[in-house]
Structure 1
């Protein structure tokens, strides 16, 4: 059993979907603290070579609340995002899929975790990704005290994982010996899909940009363009 555990991001970049492709079970880390200015409620698309934010506003609440206890302001957020998408992609060949993406924004559950998990599952279906999906909150109760790496390892154990894969950006979050002591191989995935060149340098954008500029079969081909590598000891993998 190969497992990945990630926060449910908002229309993330292709590497997130490559991670889904690489594992048997993908866990939405829905019961961890929501962090402002992260990737849970926003992402970027390129417009005229410049990064532009697509942001779904969050209802004000305690910063201590986990992702699955926060709510979107759907009405105002969805409308603003649709306008940006229509402006940015009105001349592409993906107009029919744009309708489908707008349909994802019309999902009527304001819960941040459920809203994001819904769009992630549906896009994975479009791309014919076959992994199973589960939410961390379904595997561990809220009153359990494990946090961070220890919680990830416990989730892996409950799923019977022999390998845990994370995106390369999380390499500094984990100590390999803690996983090996639990009989779990720790690996990291790096996309080899070339980033787009922008005025701010090379950048990977939301999967939306590929969905609206490429055929689904082309994106499925891109899903295979990644490499994984185990992390041993104090190895520097960057």
Structure 2
């Protein structure tokens, strides 16, 4: 069984959904510290040719609080403002009529808990992409909460009965394949395949929100994008690096 674990991001990029599609179980890592100015409450869209932030404000609170202890600001202005940003950026795109109502539905979700809101967002987009992966919250999984980093990941995988753990390749330096092997786990990294045509540009760093990708690609193209990756075994990467 393939497991992946990620913090619940706000309208994450296509690679996040590739990771979900590559997994049997996807775990929202919701019981870790909320990091300000990351990807939890914001992402980037392209407006007038310029990357701009699409941000949902989070209420001020102690920096020590976990993601599932933080709440979005429930101002009546926030959702209309975000929708205006999306409309201004994408009203002339080929899929605006299909995708804008999805954005409106997602942003209208009433639960202000950051983890719950973002998980619902990701589930709704995954459903629109015909991804049937099982979703769980890490806070629902019995584990030793004193563990951090890869030790915490290994513990979660053990509890779920995983045989393989997959992480985005950008985080390869955070993991030791030997530790995973000792725990009976295969460690792999998702490596996007660069596409040479179409709107999607895999080399964008960091890439744009899934909103941008959805607005320019029909269902067939989106399915192609979801499959445009390879799973690189950690031992192969270590051998190549050596």
Structure 1 length-normalised TM: 0.92
Residue 46 of structure 2 is aligned to residue 46 of structure 1: yes
Deviations 1:103-152 (A, max 9, x none): 100101000000000010111111111211110000036x7311121111
**2:201 corresponds to:** 196
1:140 aligns with 2:142: yes
Shift of 1:175: 1.3
9-18 or 201-210: which moved more? 201-210
How many positions carry a matched residue from both structures?
234
- SS of the residue corresponding to residue 216 of structure 2 reads coil
Matched, 1:227 2:234: no
TM-score, normalising length from structure 2?
Answer: 0.90
Q: Map 1:32-181; keep pairs closer than 5 Å.
A: 32-75=32-75, 76-94=77-95, 95-140=97-142, 144-181=145-182
2:47/2:88 contact within 8 Å kept: no
Q: Distance in 1 between matches of 2:114 and 2:209?
A: 18
* Structure 2 residues not aligned, in runs of 5+: none
Give the C-alpha shift of residue 101 in structure 1: 0.9
Aligned CA-pair RMSD: 2.0
Change (3 A) 1:50 1:235: farther
Given the alignment of the two structures, is residue 7 of structure 1 paired with residue 7 of structure 2, yes or no?
Answer: yes
State the Cα deviation string for residues 66-125 of structure 1 (Å, max 9, x = none): 100000114343222111101011111222320121110010100000000001011111
Q: CA deviation at 1:174?
A: 1.1
Aligned counterpart in structure 1 of residue 220 of structure 2, from 217, 222, 232: 217
What secondary structure sits across from 1:196 in the alignment? coil
In structure 1, runs of 5+ residues without a counterpart are none
Matched residues in 2 for 1:93 and 1:122: separation? 21
* Contact 2:194–2:201 (Cα < 8 Å) also in 1: no
Residue 217 (structure 1) shift: 2.5
Task: Give yes or no for contact 1:56–1:74 (8 Å, CA) kept in 2.
Answer: no
